[in-house]
A and B are shown apart, each in its own frame.
Chain A
């Protein structure tokens, strides 16, 4: 039997990142993601890498820009207010087509908000965040083992599509412990980066890492080429875990909210109501396919005031979509989700809007 160890979500991400070949980490302290930086500070030097605590989130993401441009597998992590500070750098990274991994262990907002868990950065993560017309691939794990698997994959996806990948967790996933398999099965797919600025050695033409182009027709072509890559991502990478067979009502939730929905599903079963679950694993690209054949009403559950619900409504335009959410660090309670579901059902299960 494979050896298992108990690990915190934050540590699991860091552990998997080192396995994935990440040797550079630039970060700035913020709760509740601190263990990622602490793990990297302890373990990257042993792996021949560099951990550097930057003077700000802004500096950290720009160090990531430099390191990614130099061809390295590089990561930064933060929590909501810190991720806001990184947005300038993320936009430049997207504009210069650089691969990197950014972890957001979300906490309550807006503003300084609070340190308790939240999912209120969904819009920021999936719709751009910084200025310009760009996307990140956004991955939403819901178990600690999945945090491991997704982290290794995040680096491969970043390199493959030359774009930033965000792992979107929350304070609960970051802080909770679960057993993970110590041996990570997936081998990182390391690819050549002939575009990187590693020094010409006077043997090739110079490489330039850049997002500036004052020639509008050319810049538009750059943008079109990038959008084509996004189209590939949308075609190839959407993922969801779906369990909706025979369900009268379907929950849709990601990360921690999906875990809570599972308990609500058990409580509803005791009342004779069969509920299902669609759990998006990729938030960008949104797994539209998972909603295609849904004929039953959907309840979206989030730790915010309704963000993913917009994407669900677009993906399932012909069914009734309800929403239940808590925010500010408050977490949906299964019994409350059940109450909401019963009311929702009483309003009619006529399915089609």
Chain B
């Protein structure tokens, strides 16, 4: 019988801990497919964040390091400087990357560090039970914004791609989404391009993937996908910010 579908070699067989309907699993899979298709598994080193994806080191089959909260781009820098022939990627959520790790992210990009950052933005802190994230939308209700995020109190969400694209060291900056087949295919192609940029020593690459958190948004998986499309994409427009 002809085999038409299989688990990517870059993905481990470990059962993932993500909640039902969460799109982390999809994003893991497209990263793994990109690694497989580029044939770089043996020289790829991944860095797991603190947050929902903290166990990512169990889910990929490449060498992995687990970083302190927000520090993944600094850890990636250390690895890449020692092993310039390796392909180094970080996998970070919005709290990790855009709050506690903003400095590490911005400066890795400014240096043109030859690493790839996969930025999973779901507008909320998932692992700790649904607190306001730096990317939470105005009006968004979370555990720490029970009356909704307001511009007066918490201020505005941060557009990471918009900010990183202003830096000379950034080579590839793109925002994608994990809500539909079309968008997922685009996200996978973008991740492949980002890895290729790194292989070509072109500088810092980042792919932001808008993702859902049905559990902490308090929605069904289907409603969560709708909310991503109707509320997140207008504030975080998809597309390329730097190619």
**Which residues of chain A have a CB within 8 Å of any CB of chain B?**
24, 26, 50, 52, 54-56, 58-60, 62-72, 74, 88-89, 92, 96, 197-203, 206-212
Contacts and interface: CB of A to CB of B under 8 A. Distances in A.
Interface in B16-62: 41-45, 47-48, 54-55, 57-58, 60-62
Nearest to A64: B78
B79 A69 contact: yes
Given A55-B103, A59-B71, A59-B104, A199 B63 contact: yes
Interface residues of B, number: 36
Contacts of A56: 103
A164 B62 CA distance: 26
Given A59-B104, A59-B107, A200 B63 contact: yes
5 contacts: A55-B106, A62-B75, A74-B82, A198-B45, A208-B63
Given A199-B42, A201-B42, A55 B65 contact: no
Given A56-B103, A206-B62, A209-B66, A197 B45 contact: yes
Contacts of A209: 64-66
Most buried by B among A52, A72, A202, A206: A206
Contacts of B82: 24, 50, 66-67, 70-72, 74
Contacts of B45: 70, 197-199
B114 interface: no
Given A201-B43, A207-B63, A92 B68 contact: yes
A208 B74 contact: no
Nearest to A197: B63
Contacts of B48: 210
B61 A206 contact: yes
B77 interface: yes
A69 B45 CA distance: 11
A62 B74 contact: yes
A62 B90 CA distance: 13
B47 to A, nearest CB: 8
A69 B68 contact: no
A197 B80 CA distance: 11
Nearest to B50: A212
A206 B81 CA distance: 20
Most buried by B among A69, A72, A74, A200: A69
Given A55-B107, A92-B68, A197-B63, A63 B44 contact: no
Nearest to B64: A208
A67 B47 CA distance: 13
Contacts of A72: 82
A72 B78 CA distance: 9
Contacts of B83: 70, 198-199
B78 A208 contact: no
B121 interface: no
Nearest to A63: B78
A208 to B, nearest CB: 5
A230 to B, nearest CB: 22
B28 to A, nearest CB: 15
Contacts of B64: 197, 206-210
B158 interface: no
A310 B205 CA distance: 52
Nearest to A51: B81
Nearest to A66: B78
B65 A197 contact: yes
A26 B108 CA distance: 13
A199 B44 contact: yes
B104 A208 contact: no
Given A198-B83, A199-B45, A200-B42, A66 B66 contact: no
Contacts of A89: 68, 71
A197 B66 CA distance: 11
Nearest to A52: B81
A348 to B, nearest CB: 53
B62 A65 contact: no
A26 B111 CA distance: 14
B65 A67 contact: no
B86 interface: yes
Closest 10 A/B residue pairs (Cβ): A66-B78, A197-B63, A62-B74, A67-B78, A66-B75, A63-B78, A55-B107, A202-B42, A62-B71, A210-B66
A62 B108 CA distance: 12
B63 A24 contact: no
B161 interface: no
A88 B68 contact: yes
A203 B42 contact: yes
Given A62-B104, A202-B41, A208-B65, A54 B81 contact: no
Contact of A199 (B55, B71, B81, B86): B86
B103 A212 contact: no
Contacts of B60: 206
A211 to B, nearest CB: 7
B160 interface: no
A66 B63 CA distance: 12
B41 to A, nearest CB: 6
Given A62-B74, A206-B61, A67 B42 contact: no
Nearest to B77: A63
